[in-house]
């Protein structure tokens, strides 16, 4: 078998896995769970899980690619003028890439757990910056004629002390995003091994099919 042939088979497997994980991520993005202690525009979904799995199974870059494809597919059906998809991509990419890079250098269960925790921390910290500098100003311009007051009111209705954007992000978004990342990590740890075995089998099937066609 030539090196070129091996690379082609490897790329075919990566494309097949990416397509499957992207499809699952797209479906999961539509399953949103409202959280009573959060403003109504913040909901829990599990669409970062396929990205995390892709980062572990293939590479960190593929985790980012899955996140990008998921949001591009969701974009025409969203109601946030692309702002929600941008935020989802940026935070999901940080989560998957950070965790994937750490896991790539030492592929053990312990490292995977540490990688997920650090990835969740990175995503939570980044969520404050991305929301403060990009997402909420964009929402204010697009939806509220440049005013951030309606956004702040959604937070103060739950906790009056959260009377500005940065307070709201630190009190609500930061811990919520971290907990979301930890939940994604737990689910990933539970299903990663059987999925990994399935992808190995897929790779073997692709190789067998390629040999039979010669």
CATH (domain of 65): 1.10.1760.20
Q: Where are the beta strands (DSSP E) in the chain?
A: 33-34, 43-44
Whether the pLDDT of residue 2 is over 80: the answer is no
Residues 120-175 pLDDT 10s: 999 999 999 999 999 999 999 998 888 899 999 999 999 999 999 999 999 999 99
* Residue 213 falls inside a structural domain: no
- When divided into structural domains, the chain yields a total of 1
pTM confidence score: 0.88
* Residue 214 falls inside a structural domain: no
Residue whose pair of structure tokens reads 């929301």 in the numeric block: 131
Spatial CA neighbour of 148 closest among 133, 129, 127, 126: 133
Spatial CA neighbour of 10 closest among 125, 2, 187, 163: 2
* Residue 12 falls inside a structural domain: yes
* Residue 27 falls inside a structural domain: yes
Query: Between vectors from CA 37 to CA 36 and to CA 40, what angle results, nearest 5°?
Result: 60
Sign of the C-alpha dihedral computed for residues 75, 78, 81 and 82 taken in this order: negative
Sign of the C-alpha dihedral computed for residues 106, 111, 114 and 119 taken in this order: positive
* Residue 120 falls inside a structural domain: yes
* Residue 177 falls inside a structural domain: yes
**How confident is the prediction for the chain on average, in pLDDT?**
89
Spatial CA neighbour of 50 closest among 79, 82, 73, 81: 73
* Residue 139 falls inside a structural domain: yes
The pLDDT of residue 126:
96
Residues 21-74 pLDDT 10s: 999 999 999 999 999 899 998 999 999 999 999 999 999 999 999 999 999 999
Q: Which domain holds residue 97?
A: 3-31+40-208
């Amino acid at each position: 078998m030539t090196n070129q042939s091996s690379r082609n088979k490897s790329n075919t497997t990566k494309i097949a896995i990416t397509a499957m994980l992207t499809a699952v991520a797209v479906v999961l993005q539509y399953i949103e769970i409202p959280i009573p202690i959060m403003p109504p525009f913040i909901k829990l979904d599990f669409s970062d899980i396929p990205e995390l799995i892709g980062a572990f199974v293939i590479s960190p870059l593929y985790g980012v690619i899955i996140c990008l494809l998921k949001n591009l597919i969701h974009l025409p059906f969203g109601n946030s003028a692309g702002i929600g998809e941008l935020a989802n991509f940026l935070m999901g990419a940080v989560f998957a890439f950070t965790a994937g890079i750490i896991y790539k250098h030492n592929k053990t269960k312990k490292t995977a757990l540490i990688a997920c925790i650090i990835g969740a921390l990175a995503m939570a910290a980044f969520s404050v910056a991305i929301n403060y500098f990009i997402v909420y100003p964009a929402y204010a311009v697009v939806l509220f004629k440049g005013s951030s007051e309606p956004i702040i009111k959604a937070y103060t209705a739950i906790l009056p002390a959260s009377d500005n954007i940065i307070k709201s992000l630190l009190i609500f978004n930061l811990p919520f995003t971290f907990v979301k990342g930890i939940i994604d990590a737990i689910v990933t740890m539970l299903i990663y091994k059987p999925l990994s075995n399935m992808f190995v089998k897929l790779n073997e099937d692709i190789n067998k099919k390629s040999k039979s066609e010669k």
